Amino acid sequence: MVLEICAVGGYSEVGKNMTAVRYNNEVIILDMGLFLPKIISYEEEEGSREGLTKDDMIEIGAVPDISVIESWRMHVKAIVTTHCHLDHIGAMPYLASYYDAPIIGTPYTIEVLRRILKDEKIKLKNPLKVMTANSKIKLSENFTLEFINATHSTLQVVMIALHTPEGVVLYCNDYKFDNHPTLGKKPNYDRLKKLGVTGSVKVLIADALYSSKAMKTPSERVAREMLKDVLLGVKNENSAIIVTTFASHIARLQSILDMGTKLGRKVVFLGRSLEKYISAAEALNLISFSKKSEVIGYANRVKRKLKEINKNKKKYLVVCTGNQAEPGSILRKMADSTMPFKFEEGDHVIFSCKTIPAPINMANRAMLEEKLVRKGCRLFKDIHVSGHGAKEDHRDLIELVRPKHIIPSHGSLEQTTPMSELASSMGYVLGQNIHLLRDGQLLELD
């Protein structure tokens, strides 16, 4: 019997990740993500995405084109995801109902998904099931699912080890090897090593996004130090301090909260998506921000709060949405003066993030920065380390798990080729046991 792997999405672009694994008459879907730049361009041109159907979303390229696995539809046993980022779960509201199968993720991932569904007023008929890291369940006759604890840039991220009669499909999207995480545990190296030593891994599907970077991605502890440097080491007692970062990066938010508290400022988190990811983490007792800070999601309350902050800027540290200068984000509205807040000469704006290198994001960010500079703000940019592993993380992963085959993923050829070159330098052969796939391609492994 052959193991079949279909690269449904995320192999011709950075986004809309989705991979399907078939053995005999059973199929498991790994991730079902959104391609955000397409959504942003659509919303900028047409307004809201509300009311868009599954087929509309496929047509604008915002979700994976599942027609390539149409004949597998009735065989899908489960939809499994590694973490709560939208490029992994964001297409579920539109596509999951098409399959008669449960969605399985870690408690935090599922909690975030529940909130997304509630926000978008979408009801899925798929049961939502939680499974914790470092546990295992039998899914069907041929598949056993195992979650292995990993580190990335949000909470409860796992690598998926899908045990099949042909060996393990090890799916590592997304990950980095962080040996000093500031929240959560180190990666489960012991388990990965065991899979390697026993020669169990048939195929490794891994996050090649930064495989071109000849480095090991620094620990989140480094980002914490960078934040400390710009928040505690720069004269700022008379300035407003505005920080923006990824809303789902709870460890980063925790560091910002800690620094703000050290500065003696009241920390206020503003914006719907921040409220969503923070409240999901609080509901599971993973953090307790509400005790030390204010978390405000609703637009009217955000406005009222900013009015109050504007009167006494020195007392607050504002954390808000808008790291990519997305339309509708708080920072963008503040810069456009459509919020009751006035920037003044010398105010600090800290970007604890990196701009996602899509043309629309880059254009939005450049425009936002220009406006802020014109208002006299001091910008502190790239106060950030990535959640994606680089070349030396990947070398360690490959050495640790010793896969028979490697499929670089999470990007187009530009991202996947460097991982293929790394694997070649380690004795693998392109076309034989390294496979560079594009969206819609099917690979048979026997």
The binding site for Zn ion (CB under 5 A) comprises: 85, 87, 174
What is d(CA 169, CA 154) in angstroms, rounded to the nearest whole number?
23
H or E element in which residue 148 lies: strand 144-149
Which lies closer to Zn ion via its Cβ, residue 209 or residue 306? Answer: 209
Which lies closer to Zn ion via its Cβ, residue 87 or residue 369? Answer: 87
What is d(CA 201, CA 66) in angstroms, rounded to the nearest whole number?
27
State the pairing for strand pair 201-207/167-172: parallel
Residue 170, exposed/middle/buried by CB under 10 A (0-12, 13-18, 19+)? buried
Smallest distance from Zn ion to CB 16, Å: 10
Smallest distance from Zn ion to CB 187, Å: 15
Residue 441 structure tokens:
């391609």
What is d(CA 208, CA 120) in angstroms, rounded to the nearest whole number?
31
Smallest distance from Zn ion to CB 168, Å: 21
What is d(CA 390, CA 214) in angstroms, rounded to the nearest whole number?
7
| SS3 at position 160 | strand
Which lies closer to Zn ion via its Cβ, residue 39 or residue 368? Answer: 39
What is d(CA 142, CA 75) in angstroms, rounded to the nearest whole number?
12
Distance of CA 427 to the CA centre of its chain: 31
Which lies closer to Zn ion via its Cβ, residue 87 or residue 111? Answer: 87
| Residue whose tokens read 């680089």 | 390
Q: How many H-runs (helices) and E-runs (strands) does the chain carry?
A: 15, 19
Which lies closer to Zn ion via its Cβ, residue 27 or residue 208? Answer: 208
Smallest distance from Zn ion to CB 206, Å: 12
The answer to whether 32 touches 89, Cβ cutoff 8 Å, is yes
CA distances from 38 to 321, 366, 412 (A): 19, 19, 16
Which lies closer to Zn ion via its Cβ, residue 26 or residue 87? Answer: 87
Smallest distance from Zn ion to CB 127, Å: 24
Smallest distance from Zn ion to CB 151, Å: 11
Smallest distance from Zn ion to CB 87, Å: 4
Smallest distance from Zn ion to CB 175, Å: 9
Smallest distance from Zn ion to CB 298, Å: 27
Scored b (16 or more CB within 10 A) or e, 380-398 reads beebbbbbbbbbbbbbbbb
Smallest distance from Zn ion to CB 4, Å: 23
What is d(CA 251, CA 280) in angstroms, rounded to the nearest whole number?
14
Nearest to 246 by CA among 352, 89, 348, 389: 352
The residue at minimum Cβ distance from Zn ion is: 85
Smallest distance from Zn ion to CB 365, Å: 19
Which lies closer to Zn ion via its Cβ, residue 12 or residue 164? Answer: 12
Which lies closer to Zn ion via its Cβ, residue 87 or residue 275? Answer: 87
DSSP structural state of residue 127: P
**The residue type at 238:** N
Which lies closer to Zn ion via its Cβ, residue 15 or residue 260? Answer: 15
CA distances from 19 to 65, 339, 390 (A): 11, 42, 22
Nearest to 65 by CA among 124, 98, 5, 16: 16
Which lies closer to Zn ion via its Cβ, residue 293 or residue 324? Answer: 324
Which lies closer to Zn ion via its Cβ, residue 88 or residue 435? Answer: 88
H or E element in which residue 196 lies: helix 189-197
